[in-house]
Amino acid sequence: MSRAKGGIQPTGECFCGCGRQVEAGAFFAQGHDKKATMYLDGIFHGGSIAARVVAHGYGPGGRNLRDHTEKLGLIERCGIGDCPESFTVGSRELRQHRATAHRGE
């Protein structure tokens, strides 16, 4: 989360606008990425993540958000049996899920 993405460089100051100094390479103070997300949702989508999903053309009547995310290679489906759970590709959550959720199947 703290590496430069899309050519955006960290400046040493929190990107949420709070003015706090952050460690080298970080964009946000602890937890402030969530605040920034909340601010944007508030400004653009009335504070509703459902409205955000729909605004981007996903959800009921639109594209399937998870299927598209999976197609872009951002998430990986568990794939054990018919398990529909998906997680960030190569993540610890995915490994943990596979190791624990299907025990004894």
Indicate the residue among 71 and 95 with the shorter CB distance to Zn ion.
95
Q: How far is CA 73 from the centre of its chain?
A: 13
Spatial separation of the C-alpha atoms in residues 32 and 26, rounded to whole Å: 11
Q: Which of 38, 53, 65, 78 binds Zn ion (CB under 5 A)?
A: 78
Strands (E), the chain: 75-77, 86-88
Q: How many CA atoms lie within 13 A of 69 on its CB side?
A: 17
4 in contact with Zn ion (CB under 5 A): no
Which of the ranges 1-9, 52-60, 67-75, 79-87 carries the binding residues for Zn ion, by CB under 5 A? 79-87
Spatial separation of the C-alpha atoms in residues 79 and 92, rounded to whole Å: 16
Smallest gap, in angstroms, from Cβ of residue 50 to Zn ion?
25
Interactions with Zn ion, residue window 6-65 (CB under 5 A): 14, 16, 18, 29, 32
Helix (H) or strand (E) holding 95: helix 92-100
Smallest gap, in angstroms, from Cβ of residue 79 to Zn ion?
7
Residues that bind Zn ion (CB under 5 A): 14, 16, 18, 29, 32, 78, 80, 83, 85, 101
